[in-house]
Structure formats: C-alpha cells, structure tokens
Chains A and B, each alone.
Chain A
C-alpha cells in the first residue's frame, strides 16, 4: 500500500494562477480531508469529504474547491492563487468515523 499520495511536493505560483493539488489513497477510506499548516497556526481544515460525491467546507474554505468523484481521489483546486495561500498543504484520510488520520507527505506551495 502506498497510503496517501500527494502531488506535487513543491510548487511556486504567481498571483492569479490556478492549480490543482492531487491526493490519492489506496486504503479504501471513506473520509478524506485537506488541511493547511502555517507557522504557529496548527492544522486548519479546508474541505472534507465523507464519501464519493459528498464534500463539505471546513474552517478556511475560501479560495479553494474540491470534488470527490471516486473513493480514491480528492483533488484540491486553487482558483486564483493569492500570497495568503502560501502554506504547506496536507491531505489526509481515515476509515470512516473519527479515527486515525493518515496524512500525505505534504505539498509546499509558494505564491509570489
């Protein structure tokens, strides 16, 4: 099992550009989520999904879109990148009800 795979690991964008962070898991987990991590701010939930076709907003959803067309994939789209979106992004999954979250390795995004 590869676990949770995120790509890319590093990305530099210019303000206004769009991009998609990819996340895939091979553990047949129903629950998937995206967090951003900023110094001194902990991990803040952006969006989450409790199953294919179902998504919901977390604490900081503005500027991000998600979709869940399959159980395995949960991409995060930045519509028009802003410097405030410079952060490390983590995708995570778990089997279902709150339980162990398995995190990807993280994607470091810099917006100039």
Chain B
C-alpha cells in the first residue's frame, strides 16, 4: 500500500517568516494530494489540495508544490501568523477511477509560530 513520510515532525518559526513542510509518497499511481490543518482539540480541516496534473497551486498565503518524478510534495506558508499554529497533515490517495480509495496520511507536523 501507499506510504507517506512527512518532515519535520515539529517546526518552529518566527511570526512573519515562511514555513515549509515536506512529504514523500511511495506509490507512483497516487494522484491526489491534500493538506489538512488540525488545531488543538479540533477536527482536521482541508486547507489546500493538488492533483497530479498540476505542479503548483496557491491560495493566498498557502501554496502546494508537487514533483511527480521525485514523488514529493510540499506545503509553503508565507507571512506566518499566530493562527497558523496547528498540526498539519499531508495525505495521498490513488483514485482508481471507479471510486475513492482511502487517503493515507503522514504523521503530521506541529507548526509553532513564535511571537
């Protein structure tokens, strides 16, 4: 099955600086790569996703890049703010065309924004 590795496990940055979280996946058939944010005690929520026919996607301060050849994708957060403090999960999924398989998640990155 799919295996998703996520690094780093903890990331501390100064407010206003950029943060980058990286993930690698094992199955070249994976074609959907979402990122979820989970605040303490809350449910995970989708913040951005990318499909394998796209190399980069942006949404305001958040961007995701995908390198299919190297099988890795990254989350970039610019101009970090205190409300960005949370645990971020990457995930990968294989869409077999007839239905949805389960998402395989990375183990998460605890992002800490230092004031």
Task: List the A side residues contacting B72 at CB < 8 Å.
Answer: none
Question: Does any Cβ of B come within 8 Å of A53's Cβ?
Answer: no
Q: Is the CB of A42 within 8 A of B43?
A: no
Q: Is the CB of B99 within 8 A of A97?
A: yes
Q: Give Cα A33 to B91, complex, Å.
A: 15
Q: Is the CB of A48 within 8 A of B102?
A: yes
Question: Does any Cβ of B come within 8 Å of A44's Cβ?
Answer: yes
Q: Identify the closest chain A residue to B4 (Cβ).
A: A42
Q: Is the CB of B43 within 8 A of A58?
A: no
Task: List the B side residues contacting A42 at CB < 8 Å.
Answer: 6, 89, 105-108
Which residues between 59 and 112 of chain A lie within 8 Å of chain B, taking CB atoms? 59, 90, 94, 96-101, 103-106
Scoring A33, A90, A97 by chain B CB atoms within 10 A of each residue's CB, the highest score goes to A97
The count of A-to-B residue pairs whose CB atoms sit within 8 angstroms is 68
Total interface residues in chain B, CB < 8 Å: 26
Total interface residues in chain A, CB < 8 Å: 27
Q: Is the CB of A98 within 8 A of B43?
A: no
Task: List the B side residues contacting A40 at CB < 8 Å.
Answer: 9, 107-108
Question: Does any Cβ of A come within 8 Å of B14's Cβ?
Answer: no
Q: Give Cα A50 to B108, complex, Å.
A: 26
Contact of B44 among A33, A50, A90 (CB under 8 A): A90
Contact of B100 among A43, A94, A103, A104 (CB under 8 A): A94
Given A42-B108, A97-B100, 6 other A-B contacts at CB below 8 A?
A: A43-B103, A43-B105, A45-B103, A98-B34, A100-B46, A104-B43
What are the 10 tightest A-B residue pairs by CB atom distance, in nearest-first order?
A: A50-B99, A98-B32, A45-B102, A103-B43, A42-B107, A98-B93, A43-B105, A42-B105, A100-B46, A31-B100
Pick 6 A–B contacts, CB within 8 A, sort by A: A50-B100, A96-B100, A97-B99, A98-B32, A98-B100, A101-B44
